[in-house]
Amino acid sequence: MFEATSGSLADTAARAVVDSVVMDVTAQPNVSGVGELRSSADGSIGFVEVQYSKSVGDIKTEAYDALDTTIKASASGAVQIELGGELPTAATNAPPGGQEIIGLAAAVIVLLIAFGSVVAMSLPIGTALLGLATSIGLITLISAVANINDIATVLATMIGLGVGIDYALFIVTRHRENLRLGMTVEESAGRSIATSGSAVLFAGITVVIAICGLAIAGIPNVTWMGLMSGMTVLVMVAISLTLLPALLGFAGHKIDKVSRRAAKKQAARDLDPAHVAKESGWHRWSRHVSRHPVRYLVGGVVVLGTFAAPLFSLRLGMVDNGTKSTEVTTRRAYDLLSKGFGPGFNGPLLLSIELDSGTSADSLTPLTDAVALDPDVQSVSPVQANQDGTAAIIQVTPKSAPQGSATATLVHRLRNDVIPTALADIPGAHVYVGGQTAVSIDLSDKISGRLPWFIAAVIGLSILLLMMVFRSVAVPIKAAVMNLLSIGSAYGIIVAIFQWGWMKDVIGLKETVPIVSFLPMMMFAILFGLSMDYEVFLLSRVREEYLHRKDSTAAVVEGISATARVITSAALIMICVFGSFILGDEPTIKMFGVGLAVAVFIDATIVRTVLVPATMKLLGDWNWWLPGWLDRLLPNLDIEGGIGLPEPEYEAGRGPVATITDDDCQPALV
């Protein structure tokens, strides 16, 4: 792309720069031809097409480097030179990196606060990083034989870090609890894997099934993204269940090391009647919500409904060079084409025509005239037929940009109305509307059509699994509704930011863009699996308390207060990891970062601490109702793995009921 800084490209100084660039590019390796300069109406902007003898995938790096060298050597105050098209786009679409470091740093801080131990903090971080390195290595190997989008690696990194740290967090937390009860290190590690490890295995497999369900879309790129993300989750589960227990053994009691002064203070607090009688903040909050369940249920639903409202304006599409930063040459080339030749020039439509015997290209005039008369068409090229006259192509330039809703409307109108009407006078012609813009529109339409079926399948699976786990009808249905509310809220916030432009400057978004077509399906699969982690962790404890107390309200209060700290820590880690990807320049990655971070925040706050206690209070004992016939049909899943375990082994002088002595600051059997 060329733009004269003053005058036109036909001026002597500007033309000399253009001719020099063309001559140099023509001599570069693998260049099979360079076209003539095509100029805009005023002559200030123009471009030349460069054809290569090899595919873009084989030569993109060396070919782009050669072009870039030519541009830098030809720099002149007379002409601005930029690179656009398929090859520069492929060469500059390197996956963003570095943002995850910020997420990891925040996760380290959260874990240090939660555990109060450097050793305990380092285990989840270390296993997650090892799992991530393994996953990226596997993805790199697979990409050598399969066409995997660069975004797949970024998504795998995002999801892998989040679940890897969280899964290790759940196991390490249970291990520390067991150690404080006086169990031996070996016994504690084994029981942690048998209990929390079983829950991690269940949650991980659920995430993998949901993400791999993206194959329902029938779109290879989306399927590969799902498979690579699912593989990363499996790697994290495997490391959490194999390497982590070995590391717990190496760490020994250092994982829960407490200073003598801290131990004495804790013992004093535990023996202080005033401290024992004092409720924790989570106790007080849970009781408060339970006293006003209707108020909090209505308020929570209204808040989530408000967040989800923009969802009804959702417009799916694909981002292109027009959404990139202006610091990238392909974006500047895109802007020059729009300025010189119109917004639609960046995304022309291609009419591919099959001609029956007896029908010639000359008979296509009614078709070109009908297309040219459409109010959203800027120009129509002359018919180009092949040598034997059996096929022809026509290039159609829309007035609107490739991402514009008017362009999608134009494609549908051409297919459903304009072309069929014109072909009434050309019975031997068969016309197909193609081109990259049309392909993107078809992709969005296909995903939109299959999204409801995908959501229904995932929700149905979640209800069935939770019925098996909690032996209840109400709890799974309630969980499904809560998931829909939280994910719908995340969708709505994404639409408000990326489509409507609300607060777009805060996240560094240059301009509004359509929602990437595969994002809703991908996000739903990921968030369904992640929300299952919190659902299982919380409701397992609530059900345990209910079976013990037979008091629904008390069970909810105790369950939330016992799990809130771990769930909050896990959610904060997820939010930090996902949120760090907002800092990149790629709009698609920003969408995933915003959507996943917001959804986890909503799920861990409004859903878990407001809607869950409110609804469970209102339902009372009906929370755990299951018809007898259904109870007999459903298999019983023990996801905590506690059934059938032998009595634990304790260290000498320690046991489940302990206090702190002055001799060694360790619990002693009372």
User: Distance of alpha carbon 108 from its chain centroid, rounded?
Assistant: 22
What number is the average pLDDT over the span 436-448?
Answer: 88
The CATH 3.30.70.1430 portion of the chain extends over 348-434
pLDDT at 192 over 80: yes
pLDDT at 246 over 90: yes
Q: What is the DSSP letter of 398?
A: E
Q: What is the pLDDT of residue 125?
A: 92
Q: What is the pLDDT of residue 255?
A: 84
**Tens of pLDDT along 543-599?**
777 777 778 888 888 888 878 888 888 889 889 888 888 887 788 889 999 999 999
What number is the average pLDDT over the span 187-207?
Answer: 84
Q: What is the pLDDT of residue 656?
A: 57
pLDDT at 470 over 90: no
Q: What is the pLDDT of residue 654?
A: 61
**Tens of pLDDT along 151-172?**
888 888 888 988 899 889 889 9
Smallest Cα–Cα separation from 588: which of 224, 346, 317, 229?
A: 317
Smallest Cα–Cα separation from 163: which of 235, 269, 79?
A: 235
Q: What is the pLDDT of residue 524?
A: 86
pLDDT at 263 over 50: no
Q: What is the pLDDT of residue 374?
A: 95
Domain 96-264+640-670 falls in which CATH fold? Multidrug efflux transporter AcrB transmembrane fold (1.20.1640)
> pLDDT exceeding 70 applies to what percent of the chain?
92
Q: What is the pLDDT of residue 641?
A: 59
| CATH 3.30.70 applies to domain 2-92 | yes
**Tens of pLDDT along 293-303?**
999 999 999 99
Smallest Cα–Cα separation from 147: which of 97, 90, 92, 98?
A: 90
Do 119 and 255 form a contact (C-beta atoms < 8 A)?
Answer: yes
Band of pLDDT at residue 272, cut at 50, 70 and 90: low
pLDDT at 247 over 50: yes
Residue 223's Cβ-count burial label (10 Å; 0-12, 13-18, 19+) is: middle
What number is the average pLDDT over the span 387-410?
Answer: 90
Does an H or E element contain 293, and which? helix 293-308
pLDDT at 127 over 90: yes
358 CB neighbour count, 10 Å cutoff = 8
Residue 169 sits at the vertex; the CA angle it makes with 167 and 170, to the nearest 5 degrees, is 70
Band of pLDDT at residue 639, cut at 50, 70 and 90: low
Q: What is the pLDDT of residue 94?
A: 58
Locate 496 and state its tokens: 């408000």
75 vs 670: CA distance, rounded Å: 83
29 CB neighbour count, 10 Å cutoff = 11
What number is the average pLDDT over the span 384-408?
Answer: 90
Classify domain 348-434 by CATH architecture. Answer: 2-Layer Sandwich (3.30)
What number is the average pLDDT over the span 498-527?
Answer: 86
> Which of the two residues, 594 and 537, has the higher pLDDT score?
594
The CATH 1.20.1640.10 portion of the chain extends over 96-264+640-670
What number is the average pLDDT over the span 410-416?
Answer: 95
429 vs 396: CA distance, rounded Å: 17
Q: What is the pLDDT of residue 95?
A: 55
> Which of the two residues, 352 and 482, has the higher pLDDT score?
352
